[in-house]
Amino acid sequence: MNNYTTVNTFLLWGFSSFPKLKNLLFVMILSCHVTILFANVSIMVAIKLSQNLHTPMYFLLFSLSFSESCITMVVIPRMLADLLSESKTISLPECATQMFFFFGLASNNCFIMAAMSYDRYTAIQNPLHYHTLMTRTICFQLLMASAVAGFLISLCITTMIFNLSFCDSNNIRHFFCDISPVVHLACDYTSYREMVIFVLSAFVLVGSFILIMISYIFIVFIVVKMPSAKGRYKAFSTCSSHLTVVCVHYGFACFVYLRPKSSDSFTGDMLMAVTYTVLTPLLNPIVYSLRNKEMQTALRRVLQGVFKFFSQLTNRKPLNI
């Protein structure tokens, strides 16, 4: 038998390679985190309070914003704490919990984006029967299917990984418990398990991406046949925000999860992971708000209400006691 030392805790190496930049990174990531939460919460409040946004498209967007906010809460607070702390240890149960929720929410996002592409296809092909084909019940069923499928796949992957034996080194070369840096530390990680995890990851990323592309192929065929140039422009403009987010999200995710891994690639993967854990959740509300006039109007009302509330709060006269 090999003389292994059993590992009970991990050390999140994170950005320890850049000790001089930790204060700057902390300020930048904290600013992005606050902005992400504020932007996504603003979108959710705007959709909730605006009657004209109570449509399937915005119902799905509300769910995507909520899921994106949850992803940042799973990863970023721990990242910020590790930037300021000397002790960067994380126990096996904490690591497994973080991996389960991160991959579950990320998978949920992929399936929600597929549902959003189907929603756009339905709206363009059958505009007169759109509200009959995409009812609130159907939207809720799509969201439930996305969540169940995403977290079930995440449970399978997390269970398989944390049934491995971790030995000798406990340094995770990442700022959170991602799949590749963790399995790299296992001493009994076989090619069979590697193939199963790859297939499950590919099912989430490639499977949902294929569904999205199929929807857009049909959308293109429908739009090209439209006689009016104004109608074609309007149809494409309704899809542009979603397509922009899809390209950014899947581009970075596929680069990290579907390419061959080596120990030398973890630093690059860690830097790339910043994009889909910090920048992508920041990009989504910006893209949807900048390219959608209805959302801009609703957000403007929400922000005006917030500023009015705080102005009244600051101008309130003190009570005489």
Do residues 105 and 71 touch, judged by C-beta distance below 8 A? yes
Position 267 scores a pLDDT of 63
Helix (H) or strand (E) holding 12: strand 9-12
Q: Please tell me the least confidently modeled range out of 31-35, 133-137, 193-197, 239-243.
A: 239-243
CA distance 57 to 116: 7
Q: In whole angstroms, give the CA distance from residue 252 to residue 249.
A: 6
Between 46-50, 78-82, 232-236, 281-285, the lowest mean confidence (pLDDT) is in: 232-236
Give the pLDDT confidence score for residue 262 in this predicted structure: 57
Strands 89-91 and 171-172, how do they pair? unpaired
What is the reported pLDDT for 147?
Answer: 95
DSSP 91: E
pLDDT score of 151 more than 90: yes
Phi, psi of 54 (to 5 degrees): -85, 65
Return the pLDDT at 3: 47
Domain-wise residue ranges, the chain: 9-301
> Per the structure block, which two tokens stand in for 317?
């006269």
Fold classification of 9-301 is Rhopdopsin 7-helix transmembrane proteins (1.20.1070)
91, β-bridge pairs: 9
For residue range 156-209, list pLDDT tens digits in order. 999 999 988 887 678 888 888 888 888 888 887 778 888 998 899 889 988 999
Q: 272-304 pLDDT, tens per residue?
A: 777 778 877 887 777 776 667 777 787 788 777
Q: Output DSSP code: residue 166.
A: B
Model-level pTM? 0.86
For 3, the 3-state DSSP assignment is coil
CA torsion sign for 306, 66, 158, 185 is: negative
C-alpha 45 chain-centroid distance: 19
Q: Is 1 exposed, middle or buried (0-12, 13-18, 19+ CB in 10 A)?
A: exposed
Backbone angles phi, psi at 173, to 5 degrees: -85, 65
